[in-house]
Amino acid sequence: MTTNLRSGSLDAGVSASAGPRVGVLALQGDFREHAHVLATLGAEVSLVRRPEELDAVDGLVIPGGESSVMDKLARTFGLQAPLKAAIAAGLPVYGTCAGLIMLADTVLDAIAGQESLGGLDVVVRRNAFGSQNQSFETDLDIPALGEVPVHAVFIRGPVVESVGAAATPLATLADGRVVAVEQGNLLGTSFHPEITGEHRFHEYFLAKVRERASVSS
């Protein structure tokens, strides 16, 4: 059953005004943090665990967590094929950390049998920055989001090893490694803006959702 966050089940303090319908994949990971940010920004947010719940949204966020577990649960819940079909049909999707791995066409250092959903013409490497205790924070210049740097938190994050012709880098570290990309309605970041109070990536994503919803209506 879809959980409507606007009703106050997870965030009683958010206003109930209508907004774009955005789902957060709630199989594993920090989906509640994303749901809170999206609701704060005026979206009508629901948690997605089943195919029929995916059908009811105009955009989807795939949160950070453990990509191999998300992959296994997506198959268990019958979501893998519907997710791939929705991505191919143009559903706006934003993936953070594990979500970026799920959206990548190619994943390096995946565990045996792990699959991604694909859609982003990139090659990503899992756990590129080491273990949990090697997490770090840094400021990134991201022209697409304005002049003010984005404060980014990396927690066992992936890195984009290569970007194909269809995708566009949005942010790089000082050493040139790509940590944010977009491709049409798809957006991916190696880091976690949902836990730092940095809402510009979610706002950027919601603009994609609104644009597609207006074209589809």
Question: Annotated catalytic sites, by residue?
Answer: 97, 192, 194
- The answer to the question of whether 212 is labelled as a binding residue is no
Helices 80-88 & 67-76 angle (0-180, nearest 10): 100
- The answer to the question of whether 137 is labelled as a binding residue is no
For 104-127, the DSSP string reads EEEEETPPTT------EEEEEETT
- The answer to the question of whether 78 is labelled as a binding residue is no
User: Quick one: the chain helix, strand, coil %, rounded to 5?
Assistant: 30, 30, 40
Burial of 202 (0-12, 13-18, 19+ CB in 10 A): buried
- The answer to the question of whether 155 is labelled as a binding residue is yes
- The answer to the question of whether 7 is labelled as a binding residue is no
- The answer to the question of whether 66 is labelled as a binding residue is yes
Burial of 18 (0-12, 13-18, 19+ CB in 10 A): exposed
Q: Which residues are annotated as a binding site for L-glutamine?
A: 65-67, 126, 155-156
